[in-house]
Structures are given as C-alpha cells and as structure tokens.
Structure 1
Amino acid sequence: MTPRSILVVTDFSELGGHALARAALLGAEHRAALQLVYVAQPGEVPPPDVAVRLSQHALQLRQRHQIAVQAVARVDCTVADIARAAAAHDLVVWGTAPQRGLRAWWGAHPALQLLRACQRPVVVVRNAADQSYHSLLVAVDFSQASHRLVELGLALHPRARVELFHAISTANEGKLRYAEVSERAIQIYREQCRRHAQDRMFTLTDSYDARRNRLSSSIGRGDPARQVLVAQQSAGADLIVVGKHPASPWVDWLFESVAQRILREARTDVLVAPHGFQAASRGTAVKRLATDLPVRRVKAGAPRPPSHPNPAALWGGA
C-alpha cells in the first residue's frame, strides 16, 4: 500500500518535530499530501497559538519539500478526534512526548488506542529524521496478515534493506516439562519447531524472489517482543514493522501484546499495522487493496504445503 495521504500528529515536543520531518520525507518520496494536527497530552492545556504554529510548520514543509501540506486549525485533544481525522488518510505518523508515571505502564500507547478506532497503519517516531529509512525489520508470524505486513514495508520504503524475522515461542516447552515429558522428547519438539519455522520462512521469502537482492530473513527463539528488539539491534534496523491482532482494551491490559511491548521498549521508530488495515482513498484504492497480497511463484502444480507440519498444533499449542 503506497501512501497518498498522511496524517501527522504532533504535540510540538522534540518527538513531535521528528514526526513532522519524517512525514515530510515520506511525503516527498511518495508525492503524498500531508495534514498536520495537534494533540495535547492528557491533562495538559493546549497552547493558545496552536493554529499559528501548525500553519508555520505547514508552510516550512511545503516550501522545503515541494509537497502539499495542510494544517488543521482546530485543536484535537483526544485519540477519538485523531481517529476521525485518520479515516481520510492512508497512513498516520505519530510524534508525541513519551508518557510518564503510571500511565506509561498501565495505559496503552495512544497509537494502539488509535488502531482500535481506525484501520490505518501508524508510524511512531522516536528518532530524528535526516534521511529515508535504509533498513527495516518486519516481524512475521506466517499468517496471511504477514504477507500484507511485508508488502507494506516494501511499498513504504522501496530502496530499503528488509529483514523478515520470526521468533519461535518456547511457551509449549514449559507445558511439556510440567507434564514430565522427557528432555529427549522436548529436544525433538524443539527441532521440529525450528524446521517448521525455516520451511515457512523459505516459503514467505520465495514469494518475493524479484526483491531478493534486498530481502533477508532470520529466526530467533524465545519471547517474541524481546527477540524482535534483540534482532533490531543486531541488524541495525531503523524501523520495526509489526502487526497488531484485534483485541479489546481489557485483553491488551491483562495480556500485553507483542506490539504494545515493542512500542514501550523500542528505541527506534515502529510501524504498527492493524490486521486488515485499509487505505483511505476510494476508487483505485479498492483495486490496490485487492492486489496487496503477493502472488507466490508456483513452479509446477498446486502450492506445496510445508514439508514440516506445525509441531505446536500437534502438541495442542497455538
């Protein structure tokens, strides 16, 4: 999905300035129109010159990058206001100062709150934007949504180096030990998981054979969120791309999602895409969405199933 319209959320903090710069780079690269909107931190009173400052930023970005930039005059103070504005855009670039105190630990990141209200990918900006992203790490779980996630990263940054990463969960190993399964059986199960993941990763990367010169893959083992962060540091990626399964606020609060943990702990920019995300543009966007899913090369006959069945399913895991 190539963005044609980008909503930029800022609170005039340092990160808000980084978000403006990042959105401008994306807008210049894809010739996308920008709309700037202000959001206040919870409990804070917006400055009286919000409209003037937004207009000044819009003028500067318009002159510097030769792109269409519009400032929203009204003050959007809630995530619900931002969600209504985001419905008319393909991508949201979020730049606000980090939350502090108990709100940072017990409340969901505002970007995740936005995902529940609208099906739009959100780039949460953490670092200064002086050049386009050169390296992306895409966290995949081999579901159909992973294909669209990879396509989103490839379309957003056509010249970037992309690494696909999957973390093999060890949750079922604890269940096996609790059931007093032998260590030998656990080792066999672990090897089956590794082979299954390698097989699925090969199938996924094979779908993008034309882009193989800038596409790589790796597999980790352990807690998915932690392993993604370790892989990002190892690869030196300046953007993490992760999907977000639909869940209620209570579920996210009780069982912190991988996306939420990555947003809380990552020191680099993060692109979070809800499963089933959509483009805002009508007409041609419908055709574009229909072709977002990659067509896998089939050398002969029907697509072959993985040669190694999912061992987690055989053991009753997810």
Structure 2
Amino acid sequence: MSLIQNILVATDFSKGADKAVERAALLAAIYQCKRAELITINEGGKPQTAFGIKDSVFDAILRSITETACEDLRLKAAELRARYGIEFACTFRFGQASKEIINRAEEMDADLIITGAHERNLLPDFLFGTTTDKLIRLSRRPLLIVKSDSTADYRHILVLVDFSEDSKQAAKIALSVSPSASFVFLHACEVEYEGKMHFAGVDQTVIDGYRLNEYEHARSALRNVIEELHVPDRLITEHLVFDKPGVAVRKYAEQANPDLIVVGKHGRSRIEELLIGSVTRETIARTKCDILVVPPFANREHGAFMV
C-alpha cells in the first residue's frame, strides 16, 4: 500500500490549479487513496454588515458566494469521478488561502498537499509571498507543486541530497512517491573557502587535492545514504558535481528534464530566506518540472507520510 492515502488539492479554478487537480486525480487513482479532497478559498473574507443594511441581505450574499463556490467544486469533482473513477470530497472556506489549506490538511491528516505554481506579481509577492511561498514556509506536510501537465506517473525523479536528516527523509519519501521510477540522487560538492584560496593565489594542484578529498567523502556518504534506504541499486544513479546546490539542480533539470524534483526544506526564518535565498525557492523559480518539498520532520508531532 502506498504511503499516499490522504490527498488535499487546492484550486482557484485557474489553469495552473487545473494542472494540480489533474495530478491529484492521477495519484489518487494510481495509489488507490482512501481520501482525496478539493479545497477552494475565498480570500475576500465573509461579507460584513454595514450601517443601514439588514443582516438578511448579507446572509443572502454569503449564501450566494458559498453556493456558487460549492457548485463549482461539485462540478469539478463530478468531472474527475467520470474520468478517473475517484471520489473527491469538497471543502470551501473563507480566509487566507495558505492558512486555511494548512488547517484543513491538519484536520484530515493529509499525507500530501498539492497546489499549482502561482504567477508572481513582483513587489507584493516579494514582500508578502505567494500562497505557494507561504505553504512552503508554514506547512508541516509534504507539498507537491505542480507545473507540468499530468499524463502518467512520475518516471524520472531527481532528489537533492545534502546528507542532513531532512534530506534523508526527503529521499525516503521520494522513493515512496513512485517506487518504479528511476532516481538520480544529486549532491552538490563544495570546497570550503575555495574562492578565497583562488583569491590568495593558492596553487591549483593544492585546490584540486581538496576537491578530490571532498568528492571521495561525498561519494562515500551518498552511497551510505543509498544503502540505508534498502532499495535495488538499479533504481538510483549517483550524481556528484562541484557547484552551488540551486545551480546544480537547475543545470541537471535543463539537461535531463526530470518529471519531479524532490527537495528537503531546512528550517529557516522568513528574514533568512529574503536575505540569503533558499535552494527550494530557486528550484521552484528556475525549473519547469514539478517540485515536491518535504518539510523538516523534527518539529512535527505526528507522522503524515512517514516511513
């Protein structure tokens, strides 16, 4: 039985959200999920009464908004049932999208949250972040960000491994998402202070010696990670490069065109992400394939999608 049993997919009925819904339906069909649910949020908030306007008028407005949204969800669910044979429950809420999605994921003990990749609106999104940004920061559950059209199960998966416990958990989850896929475990090697050594005029042969030591250490550590996973060797290819992690992922994605990239999210504050950037954010912004973001497990009270 697949570890993916409860799926929550967010939709605003946009083209990007439709891709996420299609992927959710495909996964639910492939893995015979116990529960699949559509959720949409009205971020305008509930209508408020005003001076001189009867409460009954606002009740009617609220009822109309709710009925329209729920009908749209039911139509989408009926379409998915006809095409995939999957029953989707429907939830509509007022409030901040990221908060309500996370709250519902916790309530239903979702193993996976699925959302589309949202277009950015420059300054407002830089300051406050898109719904996807907020989900990445705040969700304690794996988040699948869908960019591509869904025609089949994932076949070629790239996993970024940095030997932290979080990345090891991400690797385990990657293997459970599509056990029959081919996997590439990528590690970006970096020699500490290499730039400063070049600047100081250190001989290249000395730097190459440091590089060789780093490469051998990383290769051994990566093989240990693979051994700990207890999977057939044929499923996993090792890929070690000297580069920044975000750049290494982007270059590989451009060359090999994987279906899915899996990254483990480290716990960073919002200020740190704004000032120094993050591999997760760079990967989402600069690649075209779907991204699975796995949150840190140390801070989670229960184990949705645990292995």
TM-score bracket relative to the smaller structure: 0.7 to 0.9
Aligned residue for 1:157? 178
The answer on whether the counterparts of 2:188 and 2:242 sit within 8 Å (CA) in structure 1 is yes
Going from structure 1 to structure 2, the CA distance change for 1:38 and 1:261 (only over 3 Å counts) comes to same
Aligned residue for 2:83? 64
Q: Paired residue for 2:271, among 233, 250, 253?
A: 250
Q: Number of paired residues?
A: 284
* 1:56, distance to aligned residue in structure 2 (A): 0.9
**Residue deviations 1:182-220 (CA, integer Å, cap 9, x gap):** 433222111111111111122222334542222211111
CA distance in 2, matches of 1:13, 1:211: 40
The answer on whether the counterparts of 2:172 and 2:229 sit within 8 Å (CA) in structure 1 is no
CA distance in 2, matches of 1:229, 1:239: 12
Q: Paired residue for 2:121, among 81, 90, 100?
A: 100
The answer on whether the counterparts of 2:9 and 2:113 sit within 8 Å (CA) in structure 1 is yes
One-letter amino acid of the structure 2 residue matched with residue 117 of structure 1 = L
- Higher deviation after alignment, 115-124 or 100-109: 100-109
- Higher deviation after alignment, 235-244 or 183-192: 183-192
CA distance in 2, matches of 1:131, 1:125: 13
The answer on whether the counterparts of 1:170 and 1:223 sit within 8 Å (CA) in structure 2 is no
TM score, norm. by length of structure 1: 0.80
CA distance in 2, matches of 1:38, 1:177: 53
**Residue deviations 1:49-99 (CA, integer Å, cap 9, x gap):** 322111111122123222231111334543111111121311100125312
Instruction: Write the mapping of 1:29-178 to structure 2, written as runs, cut at 5 A.
Output: 29-32=30-33, 33-39=35-41, 48=65, 49-87=68-106, 88=108, 89-170=110-191, 172-178=193-199
Going from structure 1 to structure 2, the CA distance change for 1:152 and 1:278 (only over 3 Å counts) comes to farther
CA distance in 2, matches of 1:224, 1:109: 23
Going from structure 1 to structure 2, the CA distance change for 1:104 and 1:267 (only over 3 Å counts) comes to farther
The answer on whether the counterparts of 1:90 and 1:279 sit within 8 Å (CA) in structure 2 is no
**Residue deviations 1:7-57 (CA, integer Å, cap 9, x gap):** 1011211111000000001111222221111246899x9x95322111111
CA distance in 1, matches of 2:36, 2:86: 8
- SS state of the match for residue 73, structure 1? strand
One-letter amino acid of the structure 1 residue matched with residue 177 of structure 2 = L
- Higher deviation after alignment, 158-167 or 107-116: 107-116
One-letter amino acid of the structure 2 residue matched with residue 52 of structure 1 = E
One-letter amino acid of the structure 1 residue matched with residue 38 of structure 2 = L
Going from structure 1 to structure 2, the CA distance change for 1:76 and 1:25 (only over 3 Å counts) comes to farther
CA distance in 2, matches of 1:204, 1:36: 36
Aligned residue for 1:10? 11
Q: Paired residue for 2:260, among 239, 255, 276?
A: 239
Going from structure 1 to structure 2, the CA distance change for 1:271 and 1:42 (only over 3 Å counts) comes to farther
- Higher deviation after alignment, 130-139 or 201-210: 201-210
- Unaligned stretches of 5+ residues in structure 2: 48-63
- Unaligned stretches of 5+ residues in structure 1: 293-318
CA distance in 1, matches of 2:208, 2:128: 39
CA distance in 2, matches of 1:39, 1:177: 53
CA distance in 1, matches of 2:275, 2:44: 22
Going from structure 1 to structure 2, the CA distance change for 1:78 and 1:198 (only over 3 Å counts) comes to same
CA distance in 2, matches of 1:277, 1:137: 23
The answer on whether the counterparts of 2:157 and 2:262 sit within 8 Å (CA) in structure 1 is yes
**Residue deviations 1:132-185 (CA, integer Å, cap 9, x gap):** 111100000012222211111111112211111111135621133355544332
CA distance in 2, matches of 1:94, 1:145: 22
The answer on whether the counterparts of 1:122 and 1:273 sit within 8 Å (CA) in structure 2 is yes
CA distance in 1, matches of 2:247, 2:131: 21
CA distance in 1, matches of 2:76, 2:230: 41
